[in-house]
């Protein structure tokens, strides 16, 4: 891959894997981080600089500052816009300020730089299946109860799942800006819940910690009937690269297994390598019981109606046929995810 490319949000979970795969493919990579002074977050990137001399250059950039990406983008033919804030819903106090503004204004600032830098011919943007649907119940109105790229999430807002809403408005803005010019093309990658090994021990990505409480044994008594659409981070990174290089690739690409998996099913895989498998749930809590005790754990009746017991299919055919993605066995993803989680725990305790 004889290209010079830019990856925004270089210290993140997905971006670090993307950078590694790009370097392994012999690309010259420019990567942005919020601060070079955050040594824990930047160390995996400086380690890559040592491993691939002269191939990785780091820049500081701020999603909210106009022109912040110009110098990092200079000379690049491909831009991977990965940077976007992610927080679990319970940690968001102001959805507009914490999620929507950085995602929307960050996309505008990155693409404004793209419009100024004449060398750029392709932009690949990281979105999410959350930009396709909001609450799980939304999928029941989709054809064949199947998530497909043609849909946009219309149920999320700044108060109800502001992370998904931020990705909706950011992706729509990207398509709008793209339509106003003809020099560069745009592709979006819409992954499900991203699991797998972490290259960034200090990452704050919600993907890495969503299963944290289950691994700790907090749900040994059982799990509600909730499910996730999952994908391995290494497939997500590969899809970004394939979308950049395949000039026939266009539009949006769902990156996910073709069905959802329940937490109980996920726990079953984790039990195979967890040192204390008896701490992991082996019983599904009946929905009626969840509805009674759910409010004690912060689950509203509306949330439970919109998510409990709802499973669906996902149409990932375009990712397989057009990008050549082969989804690895889920057991391997979970084993690597758990090993990464356990290593993070050991590093924090040291």
Domain 4-349 falls in which CATH fold? Rossmann fold (3.40.50)
* Averaged pLDDT for residues 319-326: 98
Please check the confidence at residue 204 and state whether its pLDDT lies above 80. Answer: no
> In this predicted structure, what is the pLDDT of residue 344?
76
Mean pLDDT of the chain: 92
- Is residue 254 within 8 Å of residue 129, measured between CB atoms? yes
Q: In this predicted model, what pLDDT tens digit does every residue of 140-176 receive, in sequence order? A: 999 999 999 999 999 999 988 899 999 999 999 999 9
> In this predicted structure, what is the pLDDT of residue 160?
85
Quickly list H helices, the chain: 13-24, 39-51, 70-73, 95, 101-116, 162-179, 206-209, 212-216, 233-245, 263-270, 287-293, 301-307, 317-321, 330-349
Q: In this predicted model, what pLDDT tens digit does every residue of 52-100 receive, in sequence order? A: 999 999 999 999 999 999 999 999 999 999 988 776 666 778 889 888 9
Q: Where residue 237 falls among pLDDT bands split at 50, 70, 90? A: very high
> In this predicted structure, what is the pLDDT of residue 210?
62
SS3 295: helix
> In this predicted structure, what is the pLDDT of residue 190?
98
Angle at alpha carbon of residue 198, lines to 46 and 339, rounded to 5°:
130
- Is residue 338 within 8 Å of residue 274, measured between CB atoms? yes
> In this predicted structure, what is the pLDDT of residue 88?
67
> In this predicted structure, what is the pLDDT of residue 320?
98
- Is residue 26 within 8 Å of residue 53, measured between CB atoms? no
DSSP string, 127-191: --GGGT-SSGGGGGGSGGGEE-TT----S--SSSSHHHHHHHHHHHHHHHHHHT-SSSEEEEEEE
Q: In this predicted model, what pLDDT tens digit does every residue of 296-308 receive, in sequence order? A: 877 889 989 999 9
> In this predicted structure, what is the pLDDT of residue 348?
72
Q: In this predicted model, what pLDDT tens digit does every residue of 92-131 receive, in sequence order? A: 788 898 889 999 999 999 999 999 999 999 999 999 999 9
């Amino acid at each position: 891959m004889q290209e010079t490319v830019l990856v925004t949000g270089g210290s993140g979970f997905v971006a670090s894997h993307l950078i590694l795969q790009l370097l392994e493919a012999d690309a010259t990579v420019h990567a942005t981080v919020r601060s070079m002074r955050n040594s824990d977050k930047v160390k995996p990137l400086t380690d890559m600089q040592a491993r691939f001399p002269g191939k990785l250059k780091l820049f500081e950039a701020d999603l909210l500052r106009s022109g912040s990406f110009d110098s990092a983008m200079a000379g690049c033919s491909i831009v991977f816009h990965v940077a976007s804030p992610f927080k679990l819903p319970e940690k968001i106090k102001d959805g507009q300020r914490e999620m929507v503004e950085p995602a929307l204004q960050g996309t505008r600032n990155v693409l404004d730089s793209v419009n100024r830098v004449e060398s750029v011919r392709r932009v690949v943007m990281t979105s999410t299946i959350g930009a396709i649907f909001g609450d799980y119940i939304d999928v029941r109105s989709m054809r064949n109860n199947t998530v497909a790229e043609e849909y946009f999430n219309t149920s999320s807002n700044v108060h109800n799942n502001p992370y998904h809403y931020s990705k909706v408005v950011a992706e729509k803005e990207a398509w709008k800006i793209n339509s106003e010019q003809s020099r560069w093309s745009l592709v979006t990658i819409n992954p499900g819940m991203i699991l797998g090994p972490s290259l960034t021990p200090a990452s704050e990505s919600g993907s890495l910690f969503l299963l944290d409480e289950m691994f700790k044994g907090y749900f040994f008594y059982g799990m509600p009937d909730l499910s996730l659409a999952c994908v391995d981070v290494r497939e997500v990174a590969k899809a970004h690269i394939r979308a950049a290089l395949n000039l026939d690739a266009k539009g949006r690409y769902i990156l996910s297994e073709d069905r959802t998996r329940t937490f109980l099913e996920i726990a079953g895989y984790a039990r195979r390598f967890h040192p204390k498998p008896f701490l992991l749930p082996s019983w599904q809590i009946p929905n009626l019981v969840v509805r009674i005790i759910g409010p004690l754990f912060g689950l509203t009746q509306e949330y439970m109606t919109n998510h409990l017991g709802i499973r669906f299919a996902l149409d990932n055919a375009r990712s397989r046929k057009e990008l050549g993605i082969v989804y690895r066995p889920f057991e391997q993803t979970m084993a690597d995810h758990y090993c990464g989680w356990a290593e993070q725990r050991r590093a924090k305790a040291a």
